[in-house]
C-alpha cells in the first residue's frame, strides 16, 4: 500500500548525509522528482529560510544517532511554502551501527495556520483580560493557585514556618518536551494535558497549608513546610511518579512514550535571606540539571548557598 506521507532515506556514512531514496508521496508533496533529489541533503527544501532551533535539533539527533521530531518551513519546487513535520529515526545493523536514517514527512500547513490563528486570538484575549487575571488568585485553566497567590502567601508561609522552626521546600516542576506535545496533538489537547498534570501534582500533597500553583506555561511550583531534605527527595519522586502513572500518550517525546516531568527542588531555612526570587532561581538551576541529565528525573539544589 502506498504511503500518503513522504518517506526519505539518507546515508549518514556519505559526506553531508545525502538522500538515497524518496517515495512518490515525497515527490508529490515537494514537486521535485527523485532524480532531482537523490544525492542532495534534504535541507535544500529550506532554501534560505534556516530555522536554527529545528536545524540544531536535527543536527544533534544525527550526531547522536537518535530519533527526533521537528516542524520546518519548507518550499516546494514552485516556490510555495509549506509546513513540514519531519520525524527522523536511525536504522542500525547487527553491530548497532547506524547505516541510514529514515525520514517521515507530513504536510501540516493547515494545522500550523490554524494554530497561528488560535495564538493570535488567544493573545488578543489575553491583553483584554490581563487586568482581570491579575486580580484573580486562581489559574483559570488548571484551577491551581497562580503566581500572584504564591507571591502573596510566601511571606506568610515563611513566618509560620519560622515560628514552628520548620524547614520549607520549594519544588519546581516542568513538563518534558511540552512544545513537542503541542506540535503533535494541538493546543487544545495541550491544555487538557496541563489540567491532568496539575491534578496529579496537587494529588501528591495532602496538607491544606501546602501551596500548589501553576507558575506559568508548563511549569508548576509547590511550596511545602516541615520536610527534611530526605523526605523532600521522596516527595519529588512522588510528583514524578504520579505524573507518569496517569499515562498520557506522548509519541513525540524523546525520552518516553508518555508525558513525564522533571523536578528541581530546594529545602531551606525561612529566614531573611530566603527571598522567593532567590529560592526559585536555585530550584531552577536544579531543574535545568535534571533536564540536562536526560529529563524525567529529580535534582536537588540543597548544596547551593542562599544569598
- CATH code for the part of the protein at 6-107: 3.30.450.20
- Say how far apart CA 256 and CA 141 lie, in whole Å: 26
Separation between Cα atoms, residue 196 and residue 178, nearest integer Å: 13
Q: Which of 218, 230, 251, 281 is catalytic?
A: 218
Catalytic residue check, 218: yes
Q: How far apart are CA 183 and CA 99, in angstroms?
A: 29
Structure-block grid coordinates of residue 199: 491534578
Domain ranges of the chain: 6-107, 110-136, 138-300
What is the percent of the chain where pLDDT is above 90?
79
Superfamily of segment(s) 138-300? Reverse transcriptase/Diguanylate cyclase domain (3.30.70.270)
Contact between 205 and 224 under an 8 Å Cβ cutoff? The reply is yes
Name the band, by pLDDT with cuts 50, 70 and 90, for residue 305.
Answer: low
192-231 pLDDT, tens per residue?
999 999 999 999 987 888 999 999 999 999 999 999 999 9
Q: Mean pLDDT check: name the lowest of 131-140, 152-161, 203-212, 250-259.
A: 131-140
Q: How far is CA 140 from CA 78, 129, 131, 162, 193, in A?
A: 45, 11, 14, 32, 14
Cell of 76: 516546494
C-alpha cell at 14: 556519505
Kindly report, residue by residue over 247-288, the tens digit of the pLDDT: 999 999 999 999 999 999 999 999 877 899 999 999 999 999
- Which ranges constitute the DSSP H helices of 164-296? 178-185, 187-202, 229-245, 276-292
179 Cβ contact list (under 8 Å, min separation 6): none
Amino acid at each position: 500500500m502506498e504511503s500518503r506521507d513522504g518517506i526519505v532515506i539518507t546515508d549518514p556514512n556519505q559526506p553531508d548525509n545525502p538522500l538515497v531514496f524518496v517515495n512518490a508521496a515525497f515527490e508529490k508533496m515537494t514537486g521535485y522528482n527523485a532524480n532531482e533529489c537523490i544525492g542532495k541533503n534534504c535541507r535544500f527544501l529550506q532554501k534560505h529560510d534556516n530555522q536554527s532551533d529545528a536545524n540544531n535539533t536535527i543536527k544533534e539527533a544525527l550526531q547522536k544517532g537518535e530519533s527526533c521530531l521537528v516542524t520546518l518551513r519548507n518550499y516546494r519546487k514552485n516556490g510555495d511554502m509549506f509546513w513540514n513535520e519531519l520525524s527522523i529515526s536511525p536504522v542500525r545493523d547487527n553491530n548497532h551501527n547506524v547505516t541510514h536514517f529514515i525520514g517521515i514527512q507530513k504536510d501540516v500547513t493547515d494545522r500550523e495556520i490554524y494554530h497561528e490563528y488560535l495564538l493570535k486570538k488567544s493573545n488578543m484575549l489575553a491583553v483584554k483580560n490581563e487586568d482581570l487575571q491579575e486580580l484573580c488568585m486562581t489559574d483559570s485553566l488548571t484551577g491551581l493557585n497562580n503566581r500572584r497567590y504564591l507571591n502573596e502567601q510566601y511571606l506568610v508561609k515563611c513566618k509560620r514556618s519560622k515560628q514552628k522552626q520548620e524547614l520549607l521546600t520549594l519544588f519546581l516542576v516542568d513538563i518534558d518536551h511540552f512544545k513537542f506535545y503541542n506540535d503533535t496533538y494541538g493546543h487544545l489537547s495541550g491544555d487538557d494535558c496541563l489540567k491532568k498534570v496539575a491534578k496529579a501534582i496537587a494529588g501528591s500533597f495532602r496538607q491544606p497549608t501546602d501551596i500548589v500553583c501553576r507558575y506559568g506555561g508548563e511549569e508548576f511550583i509547590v511550596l511545602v513546610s516541615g520536610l527534611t531534605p530526605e523526605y523532600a527527595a521522596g516527595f519529588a519522586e512522588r510528583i514524578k511518579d504520579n505524573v507518569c502513572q496517569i499515562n498520557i500518550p506522548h509519541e513525540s517525546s524523546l525520552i518516553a512514550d508518555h508525558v513525564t516531568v522533571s523536578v528541581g527542588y530546594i529545602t531551606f531555612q525561612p529566614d531573611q535571606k530566603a527571598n522567593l526570587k532567590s529560592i526559585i532561581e536555585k530550584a531552577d538551576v536544579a531543574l535545568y540539571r535534571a533536564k540536562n541529565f536526560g529529563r524525567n528525573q529529580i535534582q536537588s539544589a540543597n548544596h547551593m548557598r542562599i544569598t
